[in-house]
Chain A
Amino acid sequence: SAVISQKPSRDICQRGTSLTIQCQVDSQVTMMFWYRQQPGQSLTLIATANQGSEATYESGFVIDKFPISRPNLTFSTLTVSNMSPEDSSIYLCSVVGPGLDSNQPQHFGDGTRLSIL
């Protein structure tokens, strides 16, 4: 099974600042996704990270707030910009790709637990 590393695992940030979350996979993957899990809520898809091009954002999420990069087939970053307490959530990276367990639609990282003061 793929090893998906997310950094940082948790952080506490001041409002108005920005934080970049990294997702590193130990094998090449075809698709990478970013989700948000607000306290007591389900996972909501933020965007699909596209290699070499702009991410595809879901309704309610915009690039200015959540810029995403994916420079290659094993790495992606999500930035949470100009943070407010409402951005306090768990942010999860997930991947799909050849060589991964085909029984699973997506493989998830352990998430980044973000608190905004």
Chain B
Amino acid sequence: GDSVTQMEGPVTLSEEAFLTINCTYTATGYPSLFWYVQYPGEGLQLLLKATKADDKGSNKGFEATYRKETTSFHLEKGSVQVSDSAVYFCALTTTGANSKLTFGKGITLSVRP
């Protein structure tokens, strides 16, 4: 079945540090890939997405590139802010999955001033 693996957390960084959160996947067919963010006390929000190989999703300074050859979709940001402190989930859905999403375990990011 489909699965998403995220690096273990939590991650604590200083403001303006570089961020990388690793995500790899296994899927049948050709998945679409997503990063969701969950701020404290809130639901999930879509951060960015990529629907085919070599696509780069970007939003709010975050980027992730769909790498089919390494089955990866790592999230990066060049300079994190305190307001980026949240839980980040990598997820996928496949054609014919009836919109069902498969999520990774999530990773908590804390950014200190």
Residues of A within 8 A of B (CB): 4, 6, 31, 33, 41-45, 48, 92, 94, 96, 103-106, 108-111
- Asked whether, in the complex, the Cβ of A105 is within 8 Å of the Cβ of B103, the reply is no
Q: How far is the CA of A33 from the CA of B93 in the complex (A)?
A: 14
Contact of B43 among A33, A104, A110 (CB under 8 A): A110
By a CB distance below 8 angstroms, the chain B residues around A105 are: 32, 34, 93, 99, 101
Can you report 21 A-B residue pairs in the complex whose CB atoms are below 8 A from each other? A31-B98, A31-B99, A33-B100, A41-B105, A42-B106, A43-B44, A43-B101, A48-B100, A92-B44, A94-B44, A103-B46, A103-B49, A104-B46, A104-B49, A105-B32, A105-B101, A106-B101, A108-B43, A108-B44, A111-B42, A111-B43
Q: How far is the CA of A111 from the CA of B87 in the complex (A)?
A: 14
Q: Complex: how many Å from CA A111 to CA B98? A: 22
- B105 near A108 with CB under 8 A, answer no
Does B26 sit within 8 A of A, measured CB to CB?
Answer: no
On whether the beta carbons of A43 and B43 are closer than 8 Å, the reply is: no
Say whether B43 contacts A45, CB under 8 Å.
no
By a CB distance below 8 angstroms, the chain A residues around B93 are: 105
Contact of A45 among B32, B44, B89, B100 (CB under 8 A): B100
Once the chains bind, are B99 and A42 in contact (CB under 8 Å)?
Answer: no
Report if A108-B98 is in contact (Cβ < 8 Å); known contacts: A42-B89, A42-B105: no
Chain A proximity of B60: nearest CB distance (Å):
15
- Tell me if A110 and B42 are in contact (CB < 8 A): yes
Chain A residues near B12 (CB-CB < 8 A)? none
Instruction: List A contacts of B34 (CB < 8 A).
Output: 105
CA distance in complex: A111, B104 (Å): 18
Q: Which residues of B contact A110 (CB under 8 A)?
A: 41-43
